[in-house]
Structure 1
Amino acid sequence: MAPAIMLAADAPKLSSANTGFMLICSALVMLMTPGLAFFYGGMVRVKSTLNMLMMSFISLGIVTILWVLYGFSLAFGTHNSLIGWNSDWFGLSNIGLTELWDGYSIPVFVFMVFQLMFAIITPALISGALADRVKFSAWSLFIALWVTIVYVPVAHWVWGADGWAYKLGVIDFAGGTAVHINAGAAALGVILVIGKRVGFKRDPMRPHSLPLVMLGAGLLWFGWFGFNAGSWLGNDDGVGALMFVNTQVATAAAMLAWLAYEKIRHGAFTTLGAASGAVAGLVAITPSGGAVSPLGAIAVGAIAGVACAAAVGLKFRFGYDDSLDVVGVHMVGGIIGSLLIGFFATGKGQSTATGVFYGDHTFTQLWKQCAGVFAVLAYSLIVSAVLAFLLDKTLGMRVTEDEEISGIDQAEHAETAYDFSGAGGGVTGSLAAPALAAAQNKKVDA
C-alpha cells in the first residue's frame, strides 16, 4: 500500500472509477468493526454482551478523531524510517480536494479514509482477549494511547514510503503484521498484566449466541473483500482481483481445515469452529494474498486453519486467559500468513519476489518476512504490556470482582443486552405477578 515510484511523464490522473472503488472498499472495511462487535458479542456470556459490543464501537469514535488530528500524518508522512510527519496533513487542513496520493489515481482524502478504517479495527481486535473484566474508561484511554504509540509507528514501518520494513522488502499486502500480529501481540501483553477472569478454567464460559457469532463472521468475511482487494489502491492491473479471489479461496480452505481438525480432535463440527476457521483464513491471507497463486492460497488457508485451531488451546496449557482467542487466531494466523510468503510467493503477483518453492533457495524473502514479523511482535507485546501496567497502576484496568461476577454490562453501562421482564410461558405480563402471588399465598395457607 506504499506509494509507487513513477516518472513525471507517467504521472497518473484522477480516476473516478478507482476513486469510487476505493470509497466502496473503505465502507466495507468500516462495516467490519460492527461485524467484529457482533462476532465477539455472541461469544461472551449474556452479562458481558453490551460491553463487548461497546469495546469495538468506541474505537470508531476515538480513532477517527486521532487519525484526523495527527495519526495519518505520523503514519504516512515522510520523516524517517521509524515515524513519519507531514505538517500539511495535521488536522487534514491543507489537502486539496483533487490532490492525488503519490503514484496513484485516487485523492489523498480517499487513501486517508481507507487507512482510517484499518486503524479503527486494529485496537478493536484486541478487545476480544479482555472480555468480562476491563473498565470501559480505562479501555478507551488504552485505545487512544495504543493507536498513537504502537499502531501508528508500525503502520509507518510496514507501509510508509520510508518505513524500514517497507524499504527492506517485507511483504504485507493488507495488514498481517501491522494489523493482526500487532493486535494479537498487544492482546497477549495486556492479558499477562491484567490477569485471568474470575472462574477461568473452572466455570463454563460458553458463547451465549452462536447465531450472533455467525452473523458477525459473515459480515467480517464480506467486509474483508474491501480490506484486502482495496489495499492495491486501484483496479487496473489485476492484482486486486487476484487478492479478491485468494481471499475467498483461503477463507474456505481454513474453515474446512478447522472443522476437520475439531472433528478429529473433539468429535464434532461446530458452528463456532466454522466461524473461527473462516476468520483464521482471512487473517492468514491478508499479508500473502497478493503474492501467492490460488493454489498457494489453499495451502495458506489450510495450514492456518489447523494451526490456529491447535493454538487456541494453548491458553489452557500455559494459563493465560485469552477470552475470545485473539492470540490464537490473529497473532498466530498473522505470523503464519506472513511467513508463508517466504515459501509460496510466485513472483507473478504484487512483486517479483519469490518464495522457497518458486526458486528462492537462499531464503531471502523468508528472512525478510521473519524480520518484519518478529520486530512487530516484540514491539507491540512489550509496549502494550507497559501501557497496560501503567494504566492498571493509575486508573485501574479491571472492574471489581463483584462487578465481574454480577455482570460488567450493568456495572459499566447500566444496561443489559436482553430484557426478559415481559417474557414467559403461559401467564405473562401484568397477569403473571398476581397469579404467582396467589399461588404462593395458597401454598403458605396450606
Structure 2
Amino acid sequence: MELTPSSIWIVASAALVLFMTPGLAFFYGGLVKAKSVISMIMMSFGSIALIGVLWILYGYMIYTGAGGDGVYFDGAAVLIPGFAGNPFAGFGLTAEGIDLIDVAFGSTFAIITVALISGAIADRAKFGSWLLFAGIWATLSYFPVAGWVWGGGWIQSWTIGDYAVIDLAGGTAVHINAGAAALALALVLGKRIGFQKGIHQPHNVPFVVLGASILWFGWFGFNTGLSGDQEGLGLSFLNTIGAPAAAVLGWLIVEKLKDGKATSVGAASGAVAGLVAITPSAGNLTPGWALILGLIAGAVAALAIELKWKLGYDDSLDVVGIHLVAGLIGTIFLGFAATDAGLFYTGDLSQLVLQTVSALAVAVYSFVIALVVGFAIEKTIGFRVKNEDEIAGVDTVVHGEKGYALAE
C-alpha cells in the first residue's frame, strides 16, 4: 500500500507523543527531591516498557472492540458491546485487517496516560508494586475507557439529537482518567513523612522547565495526529500554542497575587495545565476561545493545587490539580464554546450535558478501579516503602542508584 501524507504525519505524531513520556520523566524528576529522581524517572520508563507490551498483546483489542454489534476480528465476540473488546481476539495482533499505524499511535497515548499517575505517589512507592498497578489499571481502566471515547464505545456513540461528545485527544480518556486514578492512589499510599506545605522544594528546576518544554513539543503530535484536513490541522496546531501560552499567564498572575512571586516552576506547570485543557478541544474552539480556556485553566489549576493542603491528601506532584481539574475544565468548556455546538452558539444545553456526563462518568469509574486495585496491592505485597526507606531515599533503596554521584 502506498504511503500517504496523512499516514506519514500520524507516524511522526506517534513519535512526538512517545517523546512526551521521557519529557514527563524530566518534569516529574525535577520536581522531586534529589534522592527520588531515579525512582520518578523509572516509573515513566517502566510505563513505556510495560504498557507498550500490553497494548500490543491485548490492549488494542480491548480498545478497538468497544463498540458496534458485538462481533470483531474473525468472529471473536466483544465481551461487553459499548464497553470493552475481547482481549483474546487476535491476541498479539494476529487477526487480519488491523491498522498497525493506528495501533502504534494508540500505544503512545496509553503509555503517557499511565505514566501521568505516578506523580501522585512520588517519594514513597515501590517500583514493582507500581508496575503491577500500572498493568492492572491499564487493563481495567485505560484500555476500555479509550474504547469508550475513540473505539466506538458508549461515549463515542452517545448522541442527543445532532450533538455528540467531543474529545479530540483525551480530555476524558487521558487526563480525567489519570487524574482520578492519581487521587485514588494518593489516598491509598497516604501522606509522606512530614507532610505539610513547603515539605520540599524541586531539586532541579531546569529539569522541570526542560520536561515541560518537551511535553509541549510532543503535544503537537498529541493534538494534531489525526487532523483530517489542512484547516483542522492549522486550528489544532495554533490552539496548542495559544491555550498553554495563556495558561502560563493565568497561573503566574494567580501565583504573584497569592505568593508574591511568579516562578519558573509555576510557568512550566501553567503550560502543562493549558495543554491538558486544550487536549479535548483543540479542533473545536476558535483561537479566541482557546485563549480564554487557557487563561481559566491556568488560573484555576494554580488554585486547585492548594486543595491537597486543605483536604489532606498527598498528591506529591499535583496530578489532581493539573490533570484532573484542567481536564474537567477543558472537557466541559466545550459544552459552552464548541463551534456550532456549544451553548454560546446554539442556546442548546445538549453539548454541555454530553460533555459533563461523560467527564464525570470517566472520573468515577477510574477512581473506583484505581482505589480497589491500589488497596488490594497495598494489603498484599505492599505499595509504599518503609518509613526508614523513604527517609533514606527511594533511589538507593529501590534501584541501588543515585541521581548525582558527586566527587568527594
Is the structural similarity TM-score above 0.5? yes
What is the TM-score of this pair, normalised by structure 2?
A: 0.93
Equivalent residue number for residue 70 of structure 1: 58
- 2: CA distance, partners of 1:203 / 1:284: 27
CA RMSD of superposed structures (Å)? 1.4
Deviation at 1:191, TM superposition (A): 1.1
What is the CA-CA distance between 1:113 and the residue it aligns to? 0.3
Write the distance in 1 (CA, Å) between the matches of 2:282 and 2:372: 33
Alpha-carbon deviation of 1:94?
A: 3.1
1 CA distance for matches of 2:353 and 2:95?
A: 40
Matched with 1:154 is: 145
Q: Mapping of 1:167-178 within 5 angstroms?
A: 167-168=157-158, 169-178=164-173
1:227 partner letter: F
| Partner Cα distance (1:89, 1:117) in 2 | 20
Whole-angstrom distance in 1 between the partners of 2:147 and 2:7: 23
Q: Which amino acid aligns with 1:224?
A: W
Three-state SS of the structure 2 residue aligned to 1:90 is: coil
For residues 96 and 400 of structure 2, the distance between their equivalents in structure 1, rounded to whole angstroms, comes to 43
Could you tell me how far 1:15 is from its partner in structure 2? 4.8
Indicate conservation of the 8 Å contact 1:76/1:85, yes or no: no
Q: 1:59 is matched with which residue?
A: 47
Alignment match, 1:275: 268
> Which amino acid in structure 2 is aligned with residue 357 of structure 1?
F
Tell me what 2:217 maps to: 222
Per-residue CA deviation, residues 91-115 of structure 1 (Å, 9 max, x unaligned), is 112346xx6xxxxxxxx11111000
1:164 to 154, 159, 166: 154
Q: CA deviation at 1:196?
A: 0.5
Classify the secondary structure of the residue corresponding to 1:199: coil
Alignment of 1:10-409 (within 5 A): 15-77=3-65, 78=67, 79=70, 80-85=81-86, 89-95=90-96, 108-161=99-152, 163-168=153-158, 169-201=164-196, 204-232=199-227, 234=228, 236-347=229-340, 354-359=341-346, 361-409=347-395
Contact 1:72 1:89 in 2 (8 A): no
Q: Secondary structure at the match of 1:288?
A: coil
Counterpart residue identity of residue 22, structure 2: P
Equivalent residue pairs, number = 390
Work out the CA distance in 2 between the residues paired with 1:202 and 1:240: 42
Partner residue, 1:434: none
Structure number, greater radius of gyration = 1
Q: For 2:187, what is the secondary structure of its paired residue? A: helix
- Once residues 248 and 2 of structure 2 are traced to their aligned partners in structure 1, the CA distance between those partners, rounded to angstroms, is 39
Tell me if the contact between 1:88 and 1:95 (Cα under 8 Å) persists in the aligned partners.
no
Letter in 1 for 2:165: V
**Percent of aligned positions that are identical:** 50
Return the alpha-carbon distance in structure 1 between the equivalents of residues 2 and 135 of structure 2.
34
CA distance in 2, matches of 1:371, 1:203: 36
Structure 1 unmatched ranges of 5 or more: 1-12, 100-107, 348-353, 423-446
- Aligned residue for 1:198, secondary structure, equals coil
Distance 2:263 2:282 in 1: 27
Give me the whole-angstrom Cα distance separating, in 1, the residues matched to 2:197 and 2:62.
Answer: 45
Greater shift in the superposed pair: 28-37 or 287-296: 287-296
Equivalent residue, structure 2, for 1:410: 396
Checking the alignment, whether the CA contact within 8 Å between 1:308 and 1:328 is kept in structure 2 is yes
Deviation sequence 1:381-405 (CA, Å, 0-9, x none)? 1110000000001110011000000
Deviation at 1:356, TM superposition (A): 1.1
CA distance in 2: counterparts of 1:166 and 1:59, whole angstroms: 27
| Superposed displacement of residue 190, structure 1 | 1.1
**Can you give the 5+ residue segments of structure 2 that lack an aligned partner in the other structure?**
71-80, 159-163
Quick one: which amino acid aligns to residue 192 of structure 1?
L
Deviation at 1:205, TM superposition (A): 1.0
Contact 2:35 2:394 in 1 (8 A): yes
**Does structure 2 conserve the Cα–Cα contact (< 8 Å) formed by 1:255 and 1:278?**
yes
Task: Report the CA distance between 1:238 and its aligned residue.
Answer: 2.0
Give the conservation status (yes or no) of the 8 Å contact 2:58–2:87: no
CA drift at 1:41: 0.0
Shift of 1:14: 5.6
* Whole-angstrom distance in 2 between the partners of 1:400 and 1:57: 23
TM superposition score normalised by structure 1:
0.85
Q: Partner of 1:335: helix, strand, or coil? A: helix
Alignment CA distance shift 1:317-1:88 (3 Å): closer
TM-aligned CA distance change 1:137 to 1:30, over 3 Å = same
